[in-house]
A and B are shown apart, each in its own frame.
Chain A
C-alpha cells in the first residue's frame, strides 16, 4: 500500500481500541520472567557454551603478539576466537570499527578475543589468562583540543538561507555563546547479548537488536555468508536507546564462537565493557548565534556543531532542530567532524536534537532575558508554520508548538514565575522555573506485516518490528483489533523475527507510527479477503464484534477464516508527503528546581510538559515514553557524562556506579499532557513518533530553571555541583 496523499476517514478513526490507554499485553510475561531475553534462550539452545569477550587494553595501535596457551589450558575452555583464526571478516556498513579487532586496534575495549568455555565462570576466568602484547600508537582523544581540525563531513552537513552574517551583524540584540555536551552512554538495562547456533551453514542468532532486517544484512556481510542463511530472533529487548540499532560484537563473536566449537555459544557484553566497547552519544561543542529585534523576533540564527568520531564515522547532527524550529530569514547551520580515536560514536535517543536543544534552548532563554520578553512568549513570537529554510511552499504537516507552550504554561503555573533570577527562597532552597521547547523530527519508514484469522476467529500479527520496552506489542495489537473489529484479547502479536515481514524497526521514534501503518496495510488486505469470502463489497463491509457485517447480514470471522485460516501480507510505503511537508513533533517542557544556597545541590521539584505528536495510539505507554525521556533529560542536565581520559584514550567511569543516571529520588512529579492532534500527512494512523520527543529540550528546561533560581548561567553540561560552585565564586 502506498501512502502518497493525505489520509481521509478510515477504520482507525473509530477509536474503540486505538487511542485508549491499555496495559502492555506482554506485561505479565515480563514480570513473571517468562518472556525470554537473548541470553536466556535455554528453550532454543539448551546446550549453549559461554563466551567471554576480551577487550583491548589500548586505544590505538597493534597487537604484537597473543599467547593463548594458558587460557586454552584453563579448566573448561572449548576454544578461543581471535583475528588470527576467525577467517576473513567483512565489515558491516553501519559500524565504524571492526567488531573483532586485531592485529590493528581502533579503540579501547574493542573486542580482540572471545574465550569459550563450558561455564560462564570458566570463560570469564580463562579470559584473564589471554596474554596480549600491544604496540601502542599515539591517538587523538580530546575534542576541544582538536576542534580546529574539524572537517565538513559531507551530505547535509551545512545549510544556509538568506544572509546570516549580514542579518546577525545588524541585529539589535545578539546572543553568541559556546555550549558543550559530554559523551553519553545509553545505559539500557539489558546488556548487548546474543545466543548463536549453526545448523549446517544456517545461522540463528537470538539477540537483542532494534532493527532486525538491518541486522541480518550486517551479519551476512561481516561473516561473508548469504543473507538467506541468517536468522535473527529478537522478541524481547531490555532497552536499547539506539545502542542496539546495529549489530555489535556480541552477535559476531557468538556466531564465530559457535562455529569454532561446534555448538551454540552465548555472549553478553559485561556492564563494565559496554561504555568503551559499544557505541555512545558523542560529545559536542556548539556555537549558537541569534540576532533579534528588541522584541525578540529572530532575524538571524546560526548553529555550528563540532563532534568527534573514529575515522569513517559520522557527526552528531545537533543543529538539526535549528533548521526548523524558529523563524528568521537569515540562517545557517554547520556540522564539523573531528577524527578521534575514542570508541565509536553513534545514535542515542533523539540523536541530534537531544543535545542540540540542550544548547539552543539555553540560547533562547538568554535571548528572552536580553530582550526582556517572557521565555514562553519569546518562543511563541518566533513560531513559524513552514520550514523556514525552504519557505512557505513547504508547510508543516501539523505543528502545535504554540498550543503546547500555552497549555503547558497554564497547567504548570508558569505565570507565578518571577522573571528576575534568584528571588524565590524556600528554606535552604533557591527556587526557579525554566521552560524549553521540545522538537523532534517525524520520520516515516516502509514497514510490512502479515496478518491472519485462524479457525477460532483469533487474529495473529507477524512482523519483524521490535519492542524495546516501548510498547510495540500493544499498539500493534490495538491496530489489528481496531481494523478487524475485535477486542485486544483476541489478538496475538509475534515480533522480532527475520522470518516475518520486514518492518520499520525501532529507531528515530519512527517505529510506532510506521510499524502500525504497516499493520494497517496488511489489515486492509485481510479485510478485502474476508469481505470477498463473505460475498460483501469490501468498501461497504463493517468489521465489528468479531463479525463482518453488511446491512442486517453478518458472518463471524471464524467461519470466514475456515479451517486453514485466512492470511494477508502487505507493507506501507511512502510517497513524497515528507518532502512536500515538513513533519515533526513538538512540545514544551516546564521545570521547577531548588538549588541549595550553600552546597549548590540541585533538586528537580516538579516537571510538566505538553506534547503534540499526532494521534496518541496508547496514551498509557506514550506517557511512559515521555516521562522516561524527561528523566533522561534530567540525567543529561545534571549528571550524565562519560569522563574521557585523554592520556589513555578511554571512558574512565565505565560502570553504573560511576556513570550517573537519575535514581527514583531524583525524579519528582512529572505531568504529561498530550495536545489533540491528527496528522493526516504522516500516515493512515495519523500518528507521529513520540518515543524521543520527551528527551528533547527537557534538560534545557532544567538548566534554565537553575538560572532562574540562582542567576548562574552554565553552558557546559552536566551542571554539577563543582561547576555551580565555581560559577558562584567567579
Chain B
C-alpha cells in the first residue's frame, strides 16, 4: 500500500471538486474491494476522499414512481428494504447472492458498481495484465481462464465483471446519477455505465475524473416474477460461474440479464425477444458473439442449463 493522504468529505460538490483537482485521488466508501487492491498495489491512489459522511444513504420514491437509492446505501440495507423486496425482488435476491454478511454490511451501492474483476492475473502484479498495466499483455487468455468472461471480451482482455447487484440493476434499466468535478449532475443509463474492454481494458466505466456516483435510480416497478439464479463452485461466498437475473410476465414474455459471463453485466434485447421460445432460444440469443477458451467454454452450456432450470421452476409454480 502506497502512502496516501486522506480527507473526509462533507458535501458532494466539494468531494467531486477535490477528486477532480488532486491527481490520483479516489473515493472510498465501504472499501471492501479498494483496500484489498491497495494492499497489493494494484490500486495506488495518492489521496483518498472518504465519502461515507455525505448523507447519500437514503432510499426514496421518485416522482414518477421509481426508486432512488443513495450511493452509500449498504448492500445489506438495500437487500432488506421493503420497497426493494416488494417491487424489485430480483435486486434483493442478487444482493443476497453476493459476498458475505460482513462484506454486505460495508459494501455500498455505488462501490458495488465499481468493483473490479476477479481475474487472477489481474491480482498478481508480476503477471501481464492489460487491465492493470496497459500494454503489458494478457496472462489469462492462454492461461487459466475458467472463471473469465465469454461475452464482450477483446483481444486485450477477457476479465469478467464480478458483481451480482449490477446484473439486477442492468435488468431493471437503472440509471447511475453522478456529479462531476465542475458541479454538473448527469444520469448515465446503466447500459452505458460499464465499458467493454476493447483496446483499453483499464478504462472500465463512463465516469470522468472526479465524477462521483450520488445515487442509482430505478424506473417504476415492472411487476412480474423476479428471480436471480447464481451458479458457482460452492454454495455461498463465491463469484458466479454463471448467474441469471430474470423477470417473467404472466404472458410468457420476460427479460434477462447475465453475470459471470460478460466483461460487463450482460443483457441483449434479442434474448428478451426469445423469451416465449424457451430456454434454449434465449441462451442462443444471449450467447451470440460468445468467444470462449478451452477452460471456460462450459459456460455456454451452463447458461442454457441455468435458464432451463428457471423455466422449469416457473412451470412448476404455474
Residue B105 interfacial (CB < 8 Å):
no
A663 touches B121 (CB 8 A): no
Q: Which of B224-281 contact A (CB under 8 A)?
A: 231, 233-239, 241
B234 touches A639 (CB 8 A): yes
A722 touches B298 (CB 8 A): yes
Distance, CA A124 to CA B313, complexed state (A): 51
B231 touches A663 (CB 8 A): no
Distance, CA A597 to CA B306, complexed state (A): 10
B277 CB to closest chain A CB, in angstroms? 17
Distance, CA A128 to CA B241, complexed state (A): 33
Q: Which residues of A contact B313 (CB under 8 A)?
A: 428
A665 touches B127 (CB 8 A): no
A601 CB to closest chain B CB, in angstroms? 6
Residue B144 interfacial (CB < 8 Å):
yes
Distance, CA A648 to CA B143, complexed state (A): 9
Q: Which of A64-79 contact B (CB under 8 A)?
A: 75
B309 touches A658 (CB 8 A): no
| Contact count A vs B, C-beta below 8 Å | 95
Q: Which residues of B contact A597 (CB under 8 A)?
A: 309, 312
A647 touches B142 (CB 8 A): yes
**Residue of B whose beta carbon sits closest to that of A635:** B234
Residue B222 interfacial (CB < 8 Å):
no
Residue A2 interfacial (CB < 8 Å):
no
> What 1/0 mask marks residues of chain A from 642 to 660 whose CB sits below 8 Å from any chain B CB?
0101011000111101101
Q: Specify which of B2, B121, B235 is in contact with A665 (CB 8 Å cutoff).
A: B235
Q: Specify which of B121, B124, B241, B308 is in contact with A721 (CB 8 Å cutoff).
A: B241
Residue A596 interfacial (CB < 8 Å):
yes
Distance, CA A654 to CA B294, complexed state (A): 21
**Residue of A whose beta carbon sits closest to that of B310:** A598
Residue A600 interfacial (CB < 8 Å):
yes
Q: Which residues of A contact B120 (CB under 8 A)?
A: 643, 652-654, 658
Q: Specify which of B144, B305, B309 is in contact with A652 (CB 8 Å cutoff).
A: B144
Q: Which residues of A contact B142 (CB under 8 A)?
A: 647
A599 with B309, Cβ < 8 A, contacts A725-B298, A725-B301 known? yes
Q: Which residues of B contact A726 (CB under 8 A)?
A: 298
Instruction: Classify the interface of chain A: helix, strand, loop or mixed.
Output: loop
A676 CB to closest chain B CB, in angstroms? 35
Residue A729 interfacial (CB < 8 Å):
yes
A647 touches B305 (CB 8 A): no
A648 touches B139 (CB 8 A): yes
**Residue of B whose beta carbon sits closest to that of A659:** B120
Residue A125 interfacial (CB < 8 Å):
yes
A654 with B241, Cβ < 8 A, contacts A660-B234, A725-B305 known? no
A670 CB to closest chain B CB, in angstroms? 15
Residue A638 interfacial (CB < 8 Å):
yes
Q: Which residues of B contact A603 (CB under 8 A)?
A: 235
A427 CB to closest chain B CB, in angstroms? 8
**Residue of B whose beta carbon sits closest to that of A128:** B41
Residue B118 interfacial (CB < 8 Å):
yes
Distance, CA A657 to CA B302, complexed state (A): 22
Distance, CA A721 to CA B231, complexed state (A): 9
Q: Which residues of B contact A643 (CB under 8 A)?
A: 120, 144, 146
**Residue of B whose beta carbon sits closest to that of A634:** B234
B229 CB to closest chain A CB, in angstroms? 8
Count contacts on A: residues with CB < 8 A to the other chain: 39
**Residue of A whose beta carbon sits closest to that of B40:** A272
B306 touches A599 (CB 8 A): yes
Count contacts on B: residues with CB < 8 A to the other chain: 37
B308 touches A598 (CB 8 A): yes
Residue A624 interfacial (CB < 8 Å):
no
A721 touches B309 (CB 8 A): no
Q: Specify which of A428, A663, A664 is in contact with B309 (CB 8 Å cutoff).
A: A428
Q: Which residues of A contact B1 (CB under 8 A)?
A: 121, 124-125
Residue A380 interfacial (CB < 8 Å):
no
Q: Specify which of B146, B234, B309 is in contact with A662 (CB 8 Å cutoff).
A: B234
**Residue of B whose beta carbon sits closest to that of A662:** B234
**Residue of A whose beta carbon sits closest to that of B297:** A722
A666 touches B305 (CB 8 A): no
A652 with B298, Cβ < 8 A, contacts A428-B309, A600-B305, A658-B120 known? no
B234 touches A663 (CB 8 A): yes
Q: Which residues of A contact B306 (CB under 8 A)?
A: 598-599
Residue B39 interfacial (CB < 8 Å):
yes
> What 1/0 mask marks residues of chain B from 121 to 165 whose CB sits below 8 Å from any chain A CB?
101101100000000000100111011000000000000000000
Residue A86 interfacial (CB < 8 Å):
no
**Residue of A whose beta carbon sits closest to that of B125:** A128
Q: Which residues of A contact B309 (CB under 8 A)?
A: 428, 596-599
A665 touches B236 (CB 8 A): yes
A57 touches B126 (CB 8 A): yes
B302 touches A125 (CB 8 A): no
A599 with B305, Cβ < 8 A, contacts A639-B233, A721-B233 known? yes
**Residue of A whose beta carbon sits closest to that of B235:** A665
A666 touches B234 (CB 8 A): yes
> Which among A75, A128, A729 has the highest number of chain B CB atoms within 10 Å?
A128
Q: Which of B182-202 contact A (CB under 8 A)?
A: none
B124 touches A665 (CB 8 A): no
Q: Which residues of B contact A664 (CB under 8 A)?
A: 236
> What 1/0 mask marks residues of chain B from 68 to 90 whose CB sits below 8 Å from any chain A CB?
00000000000000000000000
> Which among B1, B118, B142, B233 has the highest number of chain A CB atoms within 10 Å?
B233
B236 touches A645 (CB 8 A): no
A60 CB to closest chain B CB, in angstroms? 14
Distance, CA A726 to CA B306, complexed state (A): 15
Distance, CA A185 to CA B124, complexed state (A): 18
B312 touches A428 (CB 8 A): yes
A252 CB to closest chain B CB, in angstroms? 22
A652 touches B234 (CB 8 A): no
Q: Which residues of B contact A653 (CB under 8 A)?
A: 120, 144
Q: Specify which of A125, A272, A601, A660 is in contact with B3 (CB 8 Å cutoff).
A: A125
B298 touches A645 (CB 8 A): no
> What 1/0 mask marks residues of chain A from 504 to 518 whose CB sits below 8 Å from any chain B CB?
000000000000000
Residue A556 interfacial (CB < 8 Å):
no
B202 CB to closest chain A CB, in angstroms? 19
Distance, CA A98 to CA B231, complexed state (A): 42
Q: Specify which of B40, B123, B139, B305 is in contact with A598 (CB 8 Å cutoff).
A: B305
Q: Which residues of A contact B126 (CB under 8 A)?
A: 57
Q: Which residues of A contact B144 (CB under 8 A)?
A: 643, 645, 652-653
Q: Which residues of A contact B236 (CB under 8 A)?
A: 663-666
Q: Which residues of B contact A665 (CB under 8 A)?
A: 234-237
Q: Specify which of A654, A655, A660 is in contact with B233 (CB 8 Å cutoff).
A: A660
Distance, CA A75 to CA B3, complexed state (A): 10
Q: Which residues of B contact A648 (CB under 8 A)?
A: 127, 139, 143
Q: Which residues of B contact A533 (CB under 8 A)?
A: none
Residue A720 interfacial (CB < 8 Å):
yes
B143 touches A638 (CB 8 A): no
Q: Which residues of A contact B312 (CB under 8 A)?
A: 428, 597-598
B298 touches A654 (CB 8 A): no
Distance, CA A463 to CA B139, complexed state (A): 50
A647 touches B233 (CB 8 A): no
Q: Which residues of B contact A75 (CB under 8 A)?
A: 3
Q: Which of B21-40 contact A (CB under 8 A)?
A: 39-40
Distance, CA A666 to CA B235, complexed state (A): 5
Interchain Cβ contacts under 8 Å between A and B, 10 examples: A598-B305, A598-B308, A599-B306, A647-B142, A658-B118, A722-B241, A722-B298, A722-B302, A725-B301, A729-B301
Interface contacts beyond A428-B312, A658-B123: sample of 19 additional A-B pairs, CB < 8 Å, sorted by A:
A272-B123, A598-B308, A599-B231, A638-B233, A639-B234, A643-B120, A643-B146, A647-B142, A647-B143, A653-B120, A663-B234, A663-B236, A664-B236, A665-B236, A666-B234, A720-B233, A721-B241, A725-B298, A725-B302
Residues of chain A at the chain B interface (Cβ within 8 Å): 57, 75, 121, 124-125, 128, 272, 428, 596-601, 603, 638-639, 643, 645, 647-648, 652-655, 657-658, 660, 662-666, 720-722, 725-726, 729
Closest 10 CB pairs of A and B: A665-B235, A722-B298, A598-B309, A665-B236, A57-B126, A598-B305, A643-B144, A652-B144, A652-B120, A598-B308
